[in-house]
């Protein structure tokens, strides 16, 4: 089960994390968010110990979403040592796209 954070924890859980982080902004009433969840969980298992998987409820953490210019759900953001790395993934996301992004994050 992916750990859920709120915007107050963004600094400590994401920016100050030792491991690279993938953060999922999700919403309710969002079929692509529901479709992403099992793909995200299965990759979380595959990348255990290498990448930290987190999710944040977009409607409940609007200030953070606005600060990061996240306007769509789901959106995946990738961080390494406090800096956002690479492109974002949004909307209907393929498992292979996430896997490729995670591998890029580790290299």
Instruction: Identify which of residues 82 and 91 has a Cβ nearer to other proteins in the complex.
Output: 91
In the complex, the smallest distance separating the C-beta of residue 6 from other proteins, rounded to whole angstroms, is 17
Instruction: Identify which of residues 12 and 95 has a Cβ nearer to other proteins in the complex.
Output: 95
35 binds other proteins (CB under 8 A): yes
Task: Give the span between the Cα atoms of 28 and 19, in whole angstroms.
Answer: 28
Instruction: Identify which of residues 50 and 94 has a Cβ nearer to other proteins in the complex.
Output: 94
H/E stretch holding 82 = none
Distances from the Cα of 35 to the Cαs of 9, 38, 39, in angstroms? 26, 7, 7
107 binds other proteins (CB under 8 A): no
In the complex, the smallest distance separating the C-beta of residue 72 from other proteins, rounded to whole angstroms, is 4
Active-site residue (options: 14, 22, 23, 33): 33
**In terms of DSSP bridges, do strands 21-26 and 75-80 run parallel, antiparallel, or are they unpaired?**
antiparallel
Are the CB atoms for 17 and 78 separated by under 8 Å?
Answer: no
75 binds other proteins (CB under 8 A): yes
Are the CB atoms for 28 and 59 separated by under 8 Å?
Answer: yes
90 binds other proteins (CB under 8 A): yes
In the complex, the smallest distance separating the C-beta of residue 34 from other proteins, rounded to whole angstroms, is 6
């Amino acid at each position: 089960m992916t750990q859920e954070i709120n915007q107050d924890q963004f600094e400590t859980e994401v920016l100050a994390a030792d491991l690279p982080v993938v953060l999922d902004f999700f919403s309710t009433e969002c079929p692509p968010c529901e479709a992403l969840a099992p793909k995200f969980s299965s990759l979380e298992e595959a990348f255990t110990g290498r990448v930290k998987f987190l999710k944040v409820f977009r409607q409940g953490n609007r200030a953070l979403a606005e600060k990061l210019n996240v306007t769509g759900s789901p959106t995946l953001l990738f961080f390494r040592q406090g800096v956002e790395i690479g492109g974002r993934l949004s909307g209907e996301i393929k498992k292979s796209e996430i896997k490729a992004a995670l591998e890029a994050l580790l290299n």
